[in-house]
């Protein structure tokens, strides 16, 4: 099939590349001429494991191309995917649909035959209705079926998620789109991936519902971790005991410094706004948002307390800056709140991240960014493990200790066991562990 993907950011690029890898003919469009030029030269603007090889293979095979020329890309195609950004709108947290609606207006006069127009962007309920209205208002003769096909990609595992999804959700109002979308995803039949057809509005709500539920699960275990610390439990034991219940499951039950990234923060905020607009308040989601904001802010205070109540004039090392491993995404990363709190308390921060340094540099102008994990420890009173990259899981703790002024490891991901750390002369503070009485 001939497919055009408008928007070559994270979702659009991964989706377009994977569709090409399925065997479809794909054109990825973006207004950013520098980005398109880079892609045409084989330079990938984001870090996603394996993406560069798939781009190269499909460009060489002639199935994938990149362009800024929208008119040529839209003419005579079967499916147009809208995959532009929907950032949180300043002031109220609602999803900003400016780019989505701009695309709808721009493609409308270019449609010359029956075309399926798909919103791949994360959009609030009812957006598909407005996209269809806009297209028809610009071009009353446009023969289109507007579909919602939300993405469920995890950064760092996006290619595997696209090719081996738990489900593919397709929301439609026009039945003509059913066979077209079935053909788009036909290569997944071999994996027996469920293709779930719903109404368009249901599909839009499924995306937000899924992300909000996972965010609540993370926030719940973080609150359990806080309770464990004062009540004498161990959150890792609690999480395992909970997760073995098949109704609950073990995923997203790892205590941490709070969720971040491109999806959960903005999608929970957007769902809260949707509830308010429809006079159906999302109280659990509202609480999740509030607790997560407080959680990230409290992590710096935890480090300061562990350092005796003051970090003024002291050096603190930070391991990991991105919101999760295997990505260079710094959006709403907990490290930003933690470092801001430490700097406000007078600390000097040294930090390292395997892939996020370039993205972090403009966001953390006062932080000393170093080249290795061990350099963050130089002269540090404490080292804080914020993001659980694989290279941080088996550090030479003796070397870490030898480079520090004081020896404290604050493990905000519970990567290490206390006994394995303290035998090297380091103090240890994890999450959700019982606080020892004097």
Candidate list 18, 28, 228, 263, residue with the active-site label: 263
CB 381 within 8 Å of CB 307 = yes
Distance, in Å, from the CA atom of 153 to the CA atom of 15, rounded to the nearest integer, reads 9
Quickly count helices (H) and strands (E) in the chain: 16, 14
Distance, in Å, from the CA atom of 209 to the CA atom of 207, rounded to the nearest integer, reads 5
Residue with tokens 């003919």: 25
Helix, strand and coil percent figures for the chain, each rounded to 5: 45, 15, 40
Distance, in Å, from the CA atom of 172 to the CA atom of 161, rounded to the nearest integer, reads 23
Secondary structure class of 25 (helix, strand, coil): strand
Instruction: Clarify whether 263 is annotated catalytic.
Output: yes
CA separation, residue 156 to residues 48, 117, 268, 308, 383 (Å): 6, 28, 21, 37, 25
Residue 206 DSSP one-character state: H
Distance, in Å, from the CA atom of 180 to the CA atom of 183, rounded to the nearest integer, reads 5
Q: Of 281, 364, 263, 277, which is closest to residue 318 (Cα–Cα)?
A: 364
CB 432 within 8 Å of CB 225 = yes
CA separation, residue 286 to residues 145, 204, 233 (Å): 34, 19, 27
CB 316 within 8 Å of CB 384 = yes
**Phi-psi group of 434: left, alpha or beta (phi > 0 → left; psi -120 to 50 → alpha; rest → beta):** beta
Radius of gyration of the CA atoms of the chain, in A: 24
Provide the annotated active-site residues: 263
């Amino acid at each position: 099939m001939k497919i055009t993907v408008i928007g070559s950011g994270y979702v659009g690029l991964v989706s377009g590349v994977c569709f090409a890898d399925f065997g479809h003919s794909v054109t990825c469009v973006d207004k950013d001429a520098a980005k398109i030029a880079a892609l045409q030269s084989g330079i990938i603007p984001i870090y996603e494991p394996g993406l560069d090889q798939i781009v190269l293979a499909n460009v060489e095979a002639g199935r994938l191309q990149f362009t800024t020329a929208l008119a040529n890309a839209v003419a005579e195609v079967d499916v147009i995917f809208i995959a532009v950004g929907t950032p949180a709108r300043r002031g109220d947290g609602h999803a900003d649909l400016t780019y989505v609606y701009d695309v709808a207006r721009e493609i409308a006069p270019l449609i010359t035959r029956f075309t399926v127009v798909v919103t791949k962007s994360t959009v609030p309920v009812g957006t598909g209705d407005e996209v269809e209205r806009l297209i028809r208002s610009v071009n009353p003769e446009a023969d289109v079926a507007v579909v919602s096909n939300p993405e469920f990609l995890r950064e760092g595992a996006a290619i595997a998620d696209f090719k081996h999804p738990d489900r593919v959700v397709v929301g439609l109002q026009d039945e003509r789109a059913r066979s077209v979308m079935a053909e788009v995803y036909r290569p997944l039949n071999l994996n027996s991936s469920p293709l779930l057809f719903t109404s368009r509005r249901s599909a839009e709500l499924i995306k937000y519902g899924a992300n909000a539920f996972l965010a609540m699960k993370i926030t719940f275990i973080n609150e359990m971790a806080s309770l464990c610390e004062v009540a004498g439990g161990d959150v890792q034991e609690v999480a395992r005991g909970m997760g073995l219940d098949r109704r609950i499951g073990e995923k997203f039950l790892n205590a941490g410094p709070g969720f971040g990234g491109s999806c959960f923060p903005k999608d929970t905020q957007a769902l809260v706004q949707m509830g308010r607009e429809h006079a159906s308040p999302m109280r659990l989601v509202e609480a999740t948002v509030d607790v997560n904001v407080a959680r990230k802010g409290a992590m710096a205070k935890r480090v300061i307390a562990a350092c005796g109540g003051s970090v003024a004039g002291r050096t603190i090392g930070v391991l990991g800056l991105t919101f999760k491993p295997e990505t260079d995404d710094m959006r709403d990363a907990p490290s930003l709140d933690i470092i801001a709190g430490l700097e406000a308390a007078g600390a000097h921060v040294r930090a390292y991240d395997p892939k996020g340094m370039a993205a972090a540099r403009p966001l953390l102008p006062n932080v000393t960014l170093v080249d290795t994990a061990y350099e963050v420890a130089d002269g540090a009173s404490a080292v804080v493990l914020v993001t659980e990259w694989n290279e941080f899981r088996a550090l030479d703790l003796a070397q870490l200790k030898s480079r520090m002024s004081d020896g404290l490891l604050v493990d905000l991901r519970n990567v290490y066991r206390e006994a394995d750390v303290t035998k090297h002369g380091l103090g240890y503070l994890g999450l959700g562990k019982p606080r020892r009485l004097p």
